[in-house]
């Protein structure tokens, strides 16, 4: 099948497209199948000469000459997986939306390189010769080219012929034909026409086989200038890519191809790199020269563009053209905020600022700006700021950013209750708002419930762009949730004391420091705090306010009940920056809650001033010191102290005041009943329970200085105990008593009298073992035990540091009973006082005056049944109880418990009788004396530790006496 002349002419265009593909592959990365693609051919000069020698054979050959050839391989430069600018921008945009603004400076953080030169950094993976590429019709044939002639028809044969040095091919049967210097089309026509004329019935098809190599020169600003032998089909771009490329000082915009002393082509690589155009590329011929002039005018482009780089200008260029070279702007670019840094005549630098937010005409003017060589174009990013949005935060279904629309209200953002989660506080939320002029933040207190119940009303606030609505859980720690906002308010205030903050303390659910809204009142603050706690006082509270510009504070009183009744009046006071609100409760000690403020009031008083503090003492529920509030009267102080206790004198109380002139203390008696009535009426007034007439009467009595005097600094109210008052006293009778139980007693009543009321003792009662305990005795005993515990703590430390305890060998020799000693100490550490008194119940029951036992409140009498055992404890081998036998002596019971240990001292044995009496045997050294001592049922025999068995050094130490005392006490209370 013959090739048409038109198809051969199109080969030149095909080859140019392949060359363009090669450049783009070098610029943007080589795919995995690059080795199968076309690669330009270049070889060393020696190999080229050898190849030419073999190809220039004196006679033609049917087969092409075989030349040994080893392709020179070059390392493959792997493509990197670097993140693109758009991918980096997308990664940033995956973060949660925020109203927090980041700073946008004019620094360019990208590394800016010369555009286009990176294509020369990539080496081809092989230098294999060109195979299978169509030969363009204008290809000029020369020595070494291989021409393939195929005959078909009358005769079928194929000739592979090599062009000789003389430019001829030797065709069998025809002889030599000169083709050197002809282009391929002319040579094809010459050969085919010759066969048509000389061989009837046969057609000839002419194609090119392997092509010759050519020599070209590379000069100018290139990396490796010189003479190169390259493939015959190599183009201008091929030669640049395979010879090292252009140096950074060379131009990419005007690469010149010189042939026979004339410039035949001007190549602009930017057309290929930016638009994929390769029309200016050309195939090289033998002895062509490639010349690269110096680089021309350049501009630096950085910032928010697709391809930050150094670009070369070609002729006069505008900002728009430069941006097109840089791939255009990123979505995050702000052209109106960008600038050009320019070098002026004389070497000084200036800046051309495009600061505008204007119209399309302004933008067109910016894009038409003429660029000069050396200009630095800084494309700055948009402000890191969300504008037409509102934020919904906190205990909501979907927190985040929402589109803002004009006329948008709280209810439209909340969409009924669909946006809320269960447990949300419907009474209180916060709008955080930014002033665009001052950039200062403020807050607005809102009620989501009111906004949803009355859409479009005043409680349904109009929103502004960039508002942030925060909703809270009922049990959420609001101070922590708003800590960041509170810190912002503190930072933006010129004076920290004047920061728009308030503090909630006392009986509110959420205490702490919070942002203060302009125009906020007491009830707003209470809603912010989640409402009153259970037991909170709705009638009495206090605001402590700092008076700027000084540091002095003053106190104001409030009533939550009155504020709820009249929210628009002074009963619901306006709050100021720095206010501290104290919500009092019905149970706590109020003066302790206010202690810090009271101390501040005292500290701020200067010479000649009196601290604005009053006090109330005696029989009130919360006695102590309180801040003096303007207009405070005696009844207010009584009410603030939660009123009188049940023991208070109901007739009068005393107001004490120092005369300002001579500092003499003066006293005034006030009627208790009148003040308490005023206090009760004030509470009713706060709740709205007084009609107009009753309110008028109340105010007349309230402002009467005789009945209810106004208080001054350092005034003191004293409420005395009611005359003859005593608490209702009782005693408890338990055990073997006919009518056990709790009995009320009067002043001076005796145990005998109460026992008679209880029916006396039963027949099974063991009067000798009765246990009588008293609280006052218990307190004394416990104090003694506490002191002994402290001594024992010191003893344990001293024992651990003792030489005998530290030296194990000596300790085992001199004191084998160390563990017994420590056991006594450990028992004492667990001891607690019982409060037992030793009584003789038999004598008490006789009701004689000399044996009478006057009772106290809380006394307790336990009468047991007659016991039948005796207990042995202390330094015996087996501490246990034994059946009582009146014939047995103390020694007998000790022997029944195994006898005394090595640390025991029998002659110091003592007996604790069932009635609590202690029988001390100290001094009765003979065993006969001990044997004669009998015990009663229920008694406890205790053998103490023998301190005489210690070495002299230890015996002289002070802790020995402590240990002995501890041993005795252990036997009594354990």
Torsion of CA 741, 744, 750, 751, to 10 degrees: 10
Q: Report pLDDT digits (tens) over 525-568.
A: 999 999 999 989 999 999 999 987 778 999 999 999 999 999 99
If you classify domain 387-473 with CATH, what class do you get? alpha beta
The domain 477-587 is placed in CATH, from the list 3.40.366.10, 3.10.560.10, 3.40.50.1820, 3.30.70.1290, at 3.10.560.10
C-alpha 407, offset from chain centre? 36
Residue 310 φ/ψ, nearest 5 degrees: -100, 120
Cβ atoms of 328 and 305 within 8 Å: the answer is: yes
H or E element: which one contains 193?
helix 184-198
Please list, residue by residue across 199-212, b when 16 or more beta carbons sit within 10 angstroms of its beta carbon and e when fewer do. beeeebbbebebbb
368-377, 675-684, 925-934: least confident range: 925-934
Segment 338-364 shows an average pLDDT of: 80
If 0-12 CB within 10 Å is exposed, 13-18 middle and 19+ buried, where does residue 603 land?
exposed
Q: Of all residues in the chain, what percent carry a pLDDT higher than 90?
A: 42
* Cis, peptide link before residue 549, omega less than 30° from 0: yes
Check if 387-473 and 477-587 are the same fold: yes
Strands in 196-308 per DSSP E: 202-208, 213-220, 226-231, 255-259, 262-267, 288-292, 298-303
3-state secondary structure of 170: strand
pLDDT reported for residue 460? 93
The answer for 604, left when phi > 0, alpha when psi is -120 to 50, beta otherwise, is: alpha
Q: Report pLDDT digits (tens) over 825-834.
A: 665 555 678 8
Say yes or no to pLDDT of 2 above 70: no
Cβ atoms of 580 and 497 within 8 Å: the answer is: no
47-51, 384-388, 501-505, 791-795: least confident range: 47-51
Q: Of all residues in the chain, what percent carry a pLDDT higher than 70?
A: 78
pLDDT reported for residue 26? 44
pLDDT reported for residue 823? 60
Local structure of residue 879 (DSSP, 8 states): -
Residue of 957 and 363 predicted with greater confidence:
363
pLDDT band at 812 (very low <50, low <70, confident <90, very high): low
Structure tokens at 252: 């990419």
Q: Report pLDDT digits (tens) over 708-731.
A: 999 999 999 999 988 877 778 899
Architecture of domain 606-724: Roll (3.10)
Measured CA to CA in angstroms, residue 450 lies from 25, 155, 405, 428, 429 at distances of 67, 106, 21, 10, 11
462: β partners = 409
Q: Report pLDDT digits (tens) over 566-621.
A: 999 999 999 999 999 999 988 767 888 999 999 999 999 888 888 999 999 999 99
The C-alpha atoms of residue 427 and residue 904 are separated, in whole angstroms, by 76
Please list, residue by residue across 352-366, b when 16 or more beta carbons sit within 10 angstroms of its beta carbon and e when fewer do. eebeeeeeeeeeeeb
Say yes or no to pLDDT of 363 above 60: yes
| Distance in angstroms between the alpha carbons of the first and the last residue of the chain | 127
If you classify domain 778-973 with CATH, what class do you get? alpha beta
- Which residue, 480, 501, 482, 481, is CA-closest to 490? 501
597-611, 649-663, 780-794: least confident range: 780-794
Segment 118-134 shows an average pLDDT of: 62
10 Å Cβ neighbour count for 214?
23
Segment 672-688 shows an average pLDDT of: 93
Segment 115-125 shows an average pLDDT of: 76
324-328, 335-339, 820-824, 858-862: least confident range: 820-824
Q: Report pLDDT digits (tens) over 926-969.
A: 445 544 567 889 899 988 877 665 554 444 444 455 555 555 55
- Which residue, 633, 722, 724, 733, is CA-closest to 682? 633
Residue 249 φ/ψ, nearest 5 degrees: -90, -5
Say yes or no to pLDDT of 701 above 90: yes
pTM over 0.75: no
The C-alpha atoms of residue 443 and residue 453 are separated, in whole angstroms, by 22
Cβ atoms of 64 and 285 within 8 Å: the answer is: no
**Which is it for the CA torsion 295, 297, 303, 306, positive or negative?**
negative
**Which is it for the CA torsion 401, 405, 411, 415, positive or negative?**
negative
H helix runs in 1-108, sequence order: 5-9, 11-28, 45-55, 85-93
What are the residue ranges spanned by the domains of the chain?
298-379, 387-473, 477-587, 606-724, 778-973
- Which residue, 870, 871, 872, 874, is CA-closest to 943? 874
Torsion of CA 232, 236, 241, 244, to 10 degrees: 100
629-633, 804-808, 840-844: least confident range: 804-808
pLDDT reported for residue 762? 93
Cβ atoms of 31 and 292 within 8 Å: the answer is: no
Say yes or no to pLDDT of 272 above 70: yes
Residue of 138 and 146 predicted with greater confidence:
146
The C-alpha atoms of residue 882 and residue 868 are separated, in whole angstroms, by 8
Strands in 94-239 per DSSP E: 146-153, 157-162, 168-171, 175-178, 202-208, 213-220, 226-231
Say yes or no to pLDDT of 23 above 50: no
Segment 891-905 shows an average pLDDT of: 86
pLDDT reported for residue 657? 92
The C-alpha atoms of residue 19 and residue 13 are separated, in whole angstroms, by 10
Q: Does domain 298-379 have CATH number 3.10.560.10?
A: yes
C-alpha 700, offset from chain centre? 59
10 Å Cβ neighbour count for 168?
17
Segment 361-377 shows an average pLDDT of: 88
Cβ atoms of 573 and 558 within 8 Å: the answer is: yes
Q: Report pLDDT digits (tens) over 203-259.
A: 889 988 888 888 999 999 999 999 998 888 888 988 898 888 999 999 999 999 999
Which long-range contacts does 567-572 make (Cβ < 8 Å, 24+ apart)? 567/521, 567/523, 571/686, 572/521, 572/522, 572/523
Say yes or no to pLDDT of 807 above 90: no
Q: Report pLDDT digits (tens) over 683-699.
A: 999 999 999 999 999 99
The C-alpha atoms of residue 479 and residue 529 are separated, in whole angstroms, by 9
Candidate ranges 52-61, 462-471, 945-954; pick with highest mean pLDDT = 462-471
Cβ atoms of 57 and 162 within 8 Å: the answer is: yes
The bridge status of strand 940-943 relative to strand 910-912 is antiparallel
Say yes or no to pLDDT of 891 above 60: yes
Segment 170-179 shows an average pLDDT of: 86
pLDDT reported for residue 355? 73
């Amino acid at each position: 099948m013959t090739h048409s002349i038109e198809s051969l002419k199109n080969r030149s265009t095909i080859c140019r497209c392949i060359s363009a593909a090669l450049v783009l592959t070098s610029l943007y990365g080589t795919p995995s199948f690059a080795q199968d693609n076309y690669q330009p051919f270049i070889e060393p000069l020696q190999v080229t000469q050898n190849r030419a020698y073999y190809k220039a054979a004196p006679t033609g050959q049917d087969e092409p000459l075989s030349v040994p050839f080893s392709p020179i391989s070059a390392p493959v430069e792997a493509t990197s997986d670097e993140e693109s600018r758009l991918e980096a921008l997308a990664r940033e945009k995956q973060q949660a939306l925020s109203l927090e603004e980041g700073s946008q400076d004019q620094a360019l953080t990208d590394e800016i390189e010369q555009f286009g030169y990176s294509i020369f950094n990539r080496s081809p993976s092989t230098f294999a010769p060109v195979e299978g590429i169509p030969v363009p019709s204008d290809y000029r044939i020369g020595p070494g080219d291989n021409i393939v002639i195929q005959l078909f028809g009358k005769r079928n044969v194929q000739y592979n012929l090599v062009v000789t040095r003389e430019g001829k091919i030797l065709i069998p049967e025809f002889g030599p034909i000169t083709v050197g210097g002809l282009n391929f089309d002319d040579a094809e026509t010459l050969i085919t026409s010759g066969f048509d004329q000389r061989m009837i019935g046969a057609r000839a098809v002419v194609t090119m086989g392997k092509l010759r190599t050519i020599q070209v020169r590379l000069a100018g600003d290139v990396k490796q200038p010189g003479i190169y032998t390259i493939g015959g089909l190599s183009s201008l771009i091929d030669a640049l890519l395979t010879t090292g490329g252009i140096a950074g000082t060379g131009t990419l915009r005007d690469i010149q191809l010189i042939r026979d002393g004339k410039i035949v082509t001007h190549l602009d690589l930017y057309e290929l790199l930016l638009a994929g155009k390769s029309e200016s590329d050309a195939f090289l011929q033998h002895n062509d020269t490639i010349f690269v002039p110096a680089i021309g005018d350049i501009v630096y482009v950085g910032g928010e563009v697709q391809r930050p780089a150094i670009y070369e200008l070609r002729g006069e260029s505008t900002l728009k053209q430069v941006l097109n070279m840089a791939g255009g702007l990123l979505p995050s670019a702000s052209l109106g905020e960008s600038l050009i840094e320019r070098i002026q005549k004389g070497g000084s630098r200036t800046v051309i600022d495009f600061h505008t937010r204007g119209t399309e005409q302004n933008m067109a003017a910016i894009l038409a700006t003429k660029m000069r060589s050396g200009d630095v174009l800084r494309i700055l990013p948009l402000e890191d700021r969300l504008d037409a949005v509102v934020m919904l935060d906190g205990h909501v279904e979907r927190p985040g950013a929402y589109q803002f629309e004009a006329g948008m209200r709280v209810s439209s953002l909340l969409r009924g209750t669909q946006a809320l989660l269960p447990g949300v506080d419907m009474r209180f939320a916060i709008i955080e708002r930014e002033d665009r002029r001052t950039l200062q933040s403020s807050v607005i207190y809102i009620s989501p419930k009111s906004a949803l119940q009355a859409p479009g009303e005043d409680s349904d606030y109009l929103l502004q762009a960039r508002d942030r609505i925060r909703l809270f859980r009922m049990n959420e720690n609001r101070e922590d949730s708003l800590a960041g906002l509170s810190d912002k308010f503190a930072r933006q205030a010129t004076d920290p004391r004047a920061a728009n903050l308030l503090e909630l303390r006392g009986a509110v659910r959420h205490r702490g420091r919070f942002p203060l809204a302009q125009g906020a009142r007491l009830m707003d603050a209470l809603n912010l705090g989640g409402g009153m706690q259970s037991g909170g006082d709705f009638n009495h509270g206090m605001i402590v306010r700092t008076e700027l510009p000084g540091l002095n504070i003053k106190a104001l009183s409030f009533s939550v009940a009155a504020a709820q009744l009249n929210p628009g009046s002074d009963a619901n006071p306006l709050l100021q920056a720095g206010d501290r609100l104290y919500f009092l409760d019905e149970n706590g000690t109020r003066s302790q809650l206010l202690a810090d403020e009271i101390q501040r009031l005292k500290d701020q008083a200067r010479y000649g001033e009196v601290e604005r503090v009053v006090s109330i003492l005696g029989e009130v529920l919360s006695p102590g010191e309180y801040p003096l509030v303007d207009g405070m009267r005696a009844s207010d102080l009584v009410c603030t102290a939660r009123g009188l206790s049940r023991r208070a004198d109901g007739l009068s109380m005393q107001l004490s005041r120092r005369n300002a002139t001579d500092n003499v203390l003066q006293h005034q008696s006030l009627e208790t009943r009148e003040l308490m009535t005023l206090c009760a009426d004030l509470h009713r007034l706060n709740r709205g329970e007084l009609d107009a007439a009753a309110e008028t009467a109340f105010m007349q009595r309230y402002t009467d200085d005789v009945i209810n005097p106004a208080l001054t600094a350092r005034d003191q109210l004293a409420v005395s105990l009611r005359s003859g008052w005593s608490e209702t006293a009782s005693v408890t009778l338990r055990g073997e008593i006919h009518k056990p139980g709790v009995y009320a007693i009067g002043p001076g009543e005796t145990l005998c009298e109460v026992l008679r009321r209880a029916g006396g003792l039963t027949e099974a009662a063991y009067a000798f073992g009765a246990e009588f305990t008293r609280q006052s005795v218990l307190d004394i005993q416990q104090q003694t035990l506490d002191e002994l515990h402290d001594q024992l703590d010191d003893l344990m430390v001293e024992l651990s540091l003792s030489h005998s305890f530290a030296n194990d060998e000596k300790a085992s020799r001199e004191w084998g009973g160390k563990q017994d000693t420590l056991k006594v100490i450990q028992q004492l550490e667990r001891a607690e006082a019982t409060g037992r008194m030793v009584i003789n119940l038999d004598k008490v029951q006789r009701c004689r005056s000399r044996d009478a036992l006057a009772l106290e409140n809380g006394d307790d009498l336990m009468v047991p049944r007659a016991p039948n055992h005796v207990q042995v404890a202390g330094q015996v081998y087996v501490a246990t109880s034994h059946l009582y036998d009146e014939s047995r002596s103390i020694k007998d019971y000790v022997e029944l418990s195994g006898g005394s240990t090595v640390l025991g001292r029998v002659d110091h044995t003592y007996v604790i009788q069932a009635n609590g009496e202690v029988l001390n045997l100290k001094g009765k050294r003979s065993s006969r004396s001990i044997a004669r001592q009998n015990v009663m049922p229920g008694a406890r025999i205790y053998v103490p530790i023998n301190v005489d068995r210690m070495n002299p050094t230890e015996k002289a130490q002070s802790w020995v006496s402590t240990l002995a005392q501890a041993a005795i006490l252990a036997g009594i209370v354990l």
